[in-house]
Amino acid sequence: MGNNDIATLLDRLNSAAAEDRYDAVSELAALNTDEAIAGLVIAIEDPDAAVRERATDALSKRTDITASELLSQFLAHDNITTRNLAAEILVRIGSDAVLPLIDEIQNPDSDVRKFVVDTLGMIGDRRAVEPTIAALWDENINVCCSAAEALGNLGDPQAVPALMFAMDKTEDIRSPAIEALGKLGDISSVQTLVRFLESDDAVVVYAAAEALGRIGSMEAFLAVVKLANGNSMAVAAEAFKAALKVAQEIDVDLNSHIPTDRVRKFIVEGFIRGDADMIAFARNNRLMWRDQELLEGILAKVGSLSEGAREALVAQVSDMAPVAEAIIVKMLTNANKSARQAMFTLLEKSPRPISVEALRAFVADSDSDIRLQLATLLGKIGDSRSLDLLLKLIQDSDGHVRAAAFRSLGWSQDESTAQSLINGLNDEFVDVRESAMGALVTLGGPKVIDHFTRDLENGTPERQRLAARALGWIGEDGVVEPLSCSINHSDPLVRKQSLEALCRIGKFTDIDALLPSLNDEDEGVQRASITALAQFAPNRAIRILSQFLEYDNIWMRCHVIATLGDMATPAAVDLLIQALDSQEEVIRVSTLTALGKAGDRRALGAIHKLDCPAHGDIVDARARAIRELEGAKYATA
């Protein structure tokens, strides 16, 4: 490609159309000239995210030094987003970017020097070690701290003496330098780190303890154990975590060095904080098996645990069943409300269900929230012995409890409960009636279908509506005939629900019987019948739906258009293409949406020719439809 062609591509980077700039970047990405690379670098400032992503991807694959040199200059950019993106690309380029970055480590701008050091640390190439060590003595403390952090990431032990010397000379660098020594894990730094355990600065002490936890030596272990047995519990907890890591590294029995009651306290507090190391230690070492007081201590705080800690406790409780079960049931009797609710939640989540007999006492608990959780838990247990408890709970004084109990009875799928579930349809509260209906749907079978069929014919209006929904959800062959009869019901909601139920089941006995519903006085029934006709008789539907497209009711036409999009047949797409001629904006927007969904590329010609305003819903819908049909990154608006 000649210089004039490259110049044209560079000019297109200033185009007002994002898709044109995107295409220009894609073409520049295929070229290997310095001018093309410069264009790609310029494009990372583009206001459009897709253009920036394309330029970023292209630059990240460059191995020539030009890209790295230009991007290094962008570390001085005023826009922090552009500066961060340049650094991200340099990290992705990797080792090929190291030398240009090293050249910038003496940049007069301290912010640039800091970005350079940070980026070198993330790349991890050891050629950067010596220049980064020199940066420990930068006149700007932020650069010094970044250099210390970077040396930890670079992983070269030759940085250890410099880090120890620097943190003795400069207090502000101590925490990142200590952290870096921990990452490097060199045993020669142990004595220095131990010395900082005596610091008056708690942050430094925490950092030193954590760093020692990364170094597997007996000296490090004894130092953090001493701190773990100290008076400051906050510091001791951090030291205990370090001791855990070292003990596992050098295979030392931690329990012989720290008293059991203190270990128990650390673990309980670790669970409360959601500390992954503490939780893993407790589980991997089966501490709760050996120390049931520890389990009781954690359970007593269960209401304060994070979600992750609760999940870990659920796994532990499951492993320990039935020992843990007995402890929980004992504690449930005397625990406060929040703790009881949390323990019931644990039992609900446990993969090993608790025995029903252990829960029997809570059927008459004075707290309705506990009875509610019990009703839910009994359904999850699925034990036939829970049926008598659930039959008591469906008569509870609290409606929420009754609703939960009915749901759980449905999960049992025990045919002997059918009449009790049917009785629930007469409950005073609608959510209880709905739960009883849902349970009957789950149960299914001839008796249930027969009951809902009778309700559909002779029940109250509410029961008739509920019966139509229920039969639709049951979906067995025996429900098709009563639902087909109900499309002529006197209640429009029953007619609508019957049509929707038949669509859900996917069966209809007589298409001709459906046709009168298309002229129903109720719009909801009309829409349901249009959907049903398209599903059960798509060929016949085309002629009828074309007539509906002439209706005055604009929302009915929108429904017909959406239905044609769902049908996605060639004949349906032809009707949609014709509908693009409408002068009504909402119709054209609906039609474009339907054409995009139908996925027929024949519509592209008509969509491209569509006369659109400069902006608005139509132009957006047109662009979406073209994207869906072409699968392109950009569609011309």
Annotate 588-608 with three-state secondary structure: HHHHHHHHHHHCCHHHHHHHH
Using pLDDT thresholds of 50, 70 and 90, give the confidence band for residue 361.
confident
**Per-residue model confidence as pLDDT tens digits over 65-91:** 999 999 998 988 888 888 899 999 999
Q: How far apart are CA 427 and CA 398, in angstroms?
A: 12
| Mean pLDDT across the chain | 87
**Per-residue model confidence as pLDDT tens digits over 33-65:** 999 999 999 999 999 888 999 999 999 998 889
**Residue 319 host element (H or E):** helix 307-320
**Per-residue model confidence as pLDDT tens digits over 296-349:** 888 878 777 877 787 777 777 777 766 777 777 777 777 777 777 878 877 777
Tell me the percentage of the chain whose pLDDT exceeds 70.
Answer: 96
Query: Which residues have a Cβ under 8 Å from the Cβ of 624 and sit 6 or more positions away?
Result: 592, 593, 596, 635
**Per-residue model confidence as pLDDT tens digits over 166-193:** 988 788 899 999 999 999 999 999 999 9
Question: What pLDDT is stored for residue 4 in this prediction?
Answer: 55
Query: Which residues have a Cβ under 8 Å from the Cβ of 556 and sit 6 or more positions away?
Result: 523, 526, 527, 548
Using pLDDT thresholds of 50, 70 and 90, give the confidence band for residue 634.
very low
Burial (0-12, 13-18, 19+ Cβ within 10 Å), 368? middle
Token pair listed for 534: 């398209």
Stretch 580-608: mean pLDDT: 92
Q: How far apart are CA 28 and CA 54, in angstroms?
A: 11
Closest Cα to residue 341, out of 381, 368, 321, 320? 368
Token pair listed for 533: 């006709």
Stretch 474-484: mean pLDDT: 86
Spell out the domains of the chain, with CATH numbers in brackets. Answer: 537-637 (1.25.10.10)
Question: What pLDDT is stored for residue 509 in this prediction?
Answer: 77
**Per-residue model confidence as pLDDT tens digits over 259-274:** 888 888 888 888 888 8
Using pLDDT thresholds of 50, 70 and 90, give the confidence band for residue 637.
very low
Of residues 466 and 333, more confidence is placed in 466
Question: What pLDDT is stored for residue 268 in this prediction?
Answer: 85
Q: Looking at the whole model, is its pTM more than 0.75?
A: no
- Contact of 260 with 293, CB cutoff 8 Å: no
Using pLDDT thresholds of 50, 70 and 90, give the confidence band for residue 239.
confident
Using pLDDT thresholds of 50, 70 and 90, give the confidence band for residue 424.
very high
Closest Cα to residue 275, out of 212, 227, 210? 210
